[in-house]
Amino acid sequence: MKTVLTVVGLLAFSIPYACQGLSPRVIAISLLILLFSYLMLLPSLKPLIATLADNPLLTLLMMYIAASCLWAEQEQTSSMLMVLKFVTFSTFGLYLVTHYTTQGCIRLLVITLSILSVLNLLAVVLVPSFAIHGGVEHTGLWKGISGHKNTLGTLSLLCFVSHVIYFFRGTRKALHVGFILLNALLLIKCQSTTSLLLTSSLFTFILFILLFKRIRSVALRGFFISSSCLLVLLGLVFAFIYGDAIALEFGKTTTLTGRTEIWQGIAGAIDSHYWFGHGYGSFWANRPSIYANGIRFDLTSSHSGFRDLWIDIGLTGLLATITLAITTLFKFRIGKTDMYTWLTAAVFFLFIVLNNITDSRFLNSLAIYWIIFVVIVIKVQERHRLTVAEKANTKAIQHASITLGTTNRTARKKRTPFSYALNGVWNGVLGM
């Protein structure tokens, strides 16, 4: 029952209808999930406190985001409700990491994404007027129950790559192939360029890791890494030189569909609240009009998660988040033990980091993205701490063995003629 309710909670955080905005429906759902998380965490306060203490930067960041309502420009009640939502999905993330192993957390996320992909397809088939874009923008493109083609693209991307990894694991291949094809269809029909590019990049990364793990020779591994780095470098140079031509070929521009113009338009908003931001959710709640190069943009985010963090919680919060992301990436280890689980976690985390360059997937979007970020940060730190402890124990055992060996050799050297004679008599008695 607990697992079912956990998946229901993750689904609620993945559907705009249930987690975006400040409607009575969204607040009621948030309160129910917060109550569930609280009741589950209450008997396990000791592991929760240990988790928070082991992740001081993440703990301070969450407290700082919640406290930003104190200086938010938004109406105070609305600001407090925004913080309530943030506390809800952060608490749910803490519930996940304290009640499930890394494998369990990833499994629940994959199950949730798989259910979402089926629901998105059913929505398109059964309620096309709701699940397919109409009007002026994105006409005819699929959005499913995700509310927007880009959101559908990112969720389908995560489901696609996770099932690719589990396909290589070698169990239930037919099931994984089915979900791979389903999410490939969703990615094609939503036509989210960013999602398609990220899918290709992460798929290549998966193949790289799986091939690298199969190579035993150190020399071949070195050659494989250097060749891969060279290919990536050549690809970046090619994209830099021919970027305009490539973009035009696909009907795009180097402004990233107006994103660079939006980023110019929000520069003033960032400068006016440089260090501490406007308060979580405060700036975009008023749906401001952004002007850049004579063009007006009415938006709810800047299409950049890092810039939205800067607007919401200032450079202080942005630097804390970037530090968390970088340290987590450096602590990642994809070893032989449970390799496919950790590879899935690494791909999810890379998605969060890369996608927030040109889209907002930290706080000003579906809560599922922040939950993924929190879960992986904590689980990577947990594994890193255990690895450090194991190395320390191994060194202590080796040191004790060396010390004991030295002591025995010293004791043998200090034996007197009498001790040798006594030892000979004792051996004779045993021989009898």
Give residue 413's pLDDT. 53
Long-range contacts of 334-338 (CB under 8 A, 24+ apart): 334/209, 334/213, 336/213, 338/102, 338/103
Interval 165-219: pLDDT, tens: 999 988 889 999 999 999 999 999 999 988 999 999 999 999 999 998 888 888 8
Question: Which residue type does 165 have?
Answer: I
d(Cα 197, Cα 257) in Å, to the nearest integer? 15
Residue 114 · residue 176 · CB < 8 Å: no
Least confident of 155-159, 186-190, 305-309, 406-410: 406-410
Interval 125-179: pLDDT, tens: 999 999 999 877 789 999 999 989 999 999 999 999 999 999 998 888 999 999 9
d(Cα 45, Cα 95) in Å, to the nearest integer? 10
Which residues sit opposite 289 in a β-bridge?
298
pLDDT above 90: residue 402 = no
Mean pLDDT for the chain overall: 86
Q: What interhelical angle do 193-214 and 218-249 show, nearest 10?
A: 170
Residue 334 · residue 206 · CB < 8 Å: no
- State phi, psi for 19 to the nearest 5 degrees: -135, -5
Residue 8 · residue 37 · CB < 8 Å: no
Residue 275 · residue 315 · CB < 8 Å: yes
| Average pLDDT estimate for 29-46 | 94
Distances (CA, A) of 409 to 402, 405, 412, 425: 11, 6, 5, 22
Give start and end residues of each alpha helix (H) in 42-127.
45-54, 56-67, 76-99, 102-126
Question: Which residue type does 200 have?
Answer: S
pTM above 0.85, yes or no: yes
Give the rounded percent of residues in the chain with a pLDDT score beyond 90. 57
d(Cα 20, Cα 15) in Å, to the nearest integer? 8
Which residues sit opposite 292 in a β-bridge?
295
By C-alpha distance, which of 431, 423, 334, 414 is closest to 380? 334
pLDDT above 50: residue 236 = yes
Give residue 428's pLDDT. 43
- State phi, psi for 274 to the nearest 5 degrees: -65, -50
Give residue 311's pLDDT. 93
d(Cα 326, Cα 407) in Å, to the nearest integer? 46
d(Cα 119, Cα 123) in Å, to the nearest integer? 6
Q: Is the dihedral of CA 23, 27, 33, 37 positive or negative?
A: positive
Interval 346-377: pLDDT, tens: 999 999 999 998 888 888 889 999 999 999 99
pLDDT above 60: residue 324 = yes
Angle 398-402-404 (CA atoms, 0-180°, nearest 5)? Answer: 115
